[in-house]
Structure 1
Amino acid sequence: MPPLTSEQRKQIAAVILAGGRGRRMGGRDKGLLPLAGRPMAAHVLQRLSPQVGRVLISANRHRDDYAALGADVVSDALADFQGPLAGVSAALACAGAPLLLTAPCDAPLLPGDLAERLYRTLQADTAAGAAAAHDGTRRHPVCALLRRERHADLEAYLASGGRKVGEWLNRIQCVDVDFSDCPSAFRNVNDADELAALAAELNAAPRRTGS
């Protein structure tokens, strides 16, 4: 299947969701934690930038540090860290594209064709409001492509007290996209031990390649 054209990529904006409290990281801003010499969010940015027309970073702390990575930064309209959907809503409000690709800041190994595969599935299913990655075992609801026209529904869901990403995706009819050929690409770094383990693997990878 051919890659997306430049015009198709322009139809997609992406948002890296880095607006959480970082509880599992002792309150540290997860997206700014170093991984192989760069902030973790920088790895996600590098993965997504070639796939879309524009990348935003959703951040509620350290906005200048995130802006220094080379993306526009948007903060939640809702106060007190209301979860990833608050960041998605803020990004939908200013993305300027009919489609929004969402990704967490703690998934630095995302597929290089994430946007393409989600886009083609969503374009083929005009009734669906979103397409989400499925690794063969489970859906990754924060790795999804959303139609901007569903923003009003998201605002209503948030206003009603809803905060669950999966619940809202089901509400707008989400279709799963098969990524069972690369499940490790959706690996999340949830705590300090996982961050150290991934850093060790990335640092060792060049030596394995050259051996």
Structure 2
Amino acid sequence: MSVSPLSRVPNPATEITGLILAGGRGRRMGGRDKGLERLGGLALVEHVRARLAGRVGEVLVSANRHLESYRRLGDRVVSDAESGFQGPLMGIYSGLRAATTPWVLVVPCDTPALPADLVVRMAAGIDDCRIAVAHDGERLHPVVMLLERALADDLRAALAEGERKVGRWLERHAWASVDFSDCPAAFGNLNTVQDKQRLERRLNEESRP
């Protein structure tokens, strides 16, 4: 694959849009809207947004229900280009279409402890690739990635072919792995009510004098 002309360290404030994926069905949480689940008095999406706001040019929230609630929390809310809760790739594609910057940093709504320096580290790790993906030292996190907005057409083609797996779409491209092995716990995600309860207990323990 030819190297993109954008392949350099992007300026987060002017060239990166943050995209929070909150458009899923929340099946493992009994159909509840995960992004709006409360943790420590805040919705999960608010915890995630705090890692992006002021560090990127704009924050978008990918959501397919409770849109008014999300609009009060994000700069803009973007719903999937096609209905039917088709998964994170559709949310990413819809976010790429809505973004106005050349780069988009994608994060899920259920990772409330993301590193505070996530944006600058992802930007610095893009290397000569069009996509950078976070790696915690043990596993890859495909939905924590920085990618060029210009990849929207390729992603649209993949979706039209029936692709719905983020990892398989990544295999179509050269991508860089960004090392976060110094903070693997930051990428823990909340898939179930039990996950949320465990994190709440941990946060309460850490806040005690």
Is TM more than 0.5 here? yes
Partner in structure 1 of residue 204 of structure 2: 203
Partners of 1:129 and 1:6 in 2: how far apart? 11
**Residue 31 of structure 1 pairs with residue 35 of structure 2:** yes
RMSD in angstroms over aligned alpha carbons? 1.5
How far did residue 169 of structure 1 move? 1.3
Partner in structure 1 of residue 138 of structure 2: 137
Partners of 2:155 and 2:74 in 1: how far apart? 28
1:87 to 77, 91, 107: 91
Partners of 2:10 and 2:147 in 1: how far apart? 19
Partner in structure 1 of residue 160 of structure 2: 159
How far did residue 6 of structure 1 move? 10
Partners of 1:42 and 1:172 in 2: how far apart? 31
Structure 1 residues 186 and 79, CA, compared in 2 at 3 Å: closer, same or farther? same
How far did residue 129 of structure 1 move? 2.0
Q: Which amino acid aligns with 2:82?
A: L
* Contact residue 51 and residue 118 of structure 2 kept, 8 A: no
2:115 to 100, 106, 111: 111
Deviations 1:155-190 (A, max 9, x none): 000010001101111212211111100100001011
Partners of 1:71 and 1:195 in 2: how far apart? 26
The alignment of Structure 1 onto Structure 2 pairs a total of residues equal to 201
- Which TM-score applies when normalising by structure 2? 0.92
Structure 1 residues 200 and 33, CA, compared in 2 at 3 Å: closer, same or farther? same
Partners of 1:134 and 1:34 in 2: how far apart? 27
**Residue 20 of structure 1 pairs with residue 24 of structure 2:** yes
Q: Identity of aligned pairs, percent?
A: 50
Partners of 1:116 and 1:7 in 2: how far apart? 9
Partner in structure 2 of residue 54 of structure 1: 58
Partners of 2:37 and 2:118 in 1: how far apart? 24
Partner-residue secondary structure (3-state), 1:10:
helix
Structure 1 residues 95 and 118, CA, compared in 2 at 3 Å: closer, same or farther? same
Q: Which has the higher helix share?
A: 1
* Contact residue 150 and residue 172 of structure 1 kept, 8 A: no
Partner in structure 2 of residue 78 of structure 1: 82
Q: Which amino acid aligns with 1:63?
A: L
Q: Which amino acid aligns with 1:59?
A: A
Partners of 1:200 and 1:18 in 2: how far apart? 24
Gaps of 5+ in 2: 1-8
Deviations 1:130-176 (A, max 9, x none): 00000011110000000111111000000100011011112122111
Structure 1 residues 90 and 109, CA, compared in 2 at 3 Å: closer, same or farther? same
Q: Which amino acid aligns with 2:135?
A: H
Deviations 1:67-113 (A, max 9, x none): 11142100001110000011111111111000000000000000111
Partners of 2:91 and 2:10 in 1: how far apart? 26
In the TM superposition, structure 1's runs of 4+ consecutive aligned residues that sit over 4 Å from their partners are none
Gaps of 5+ in 1: none
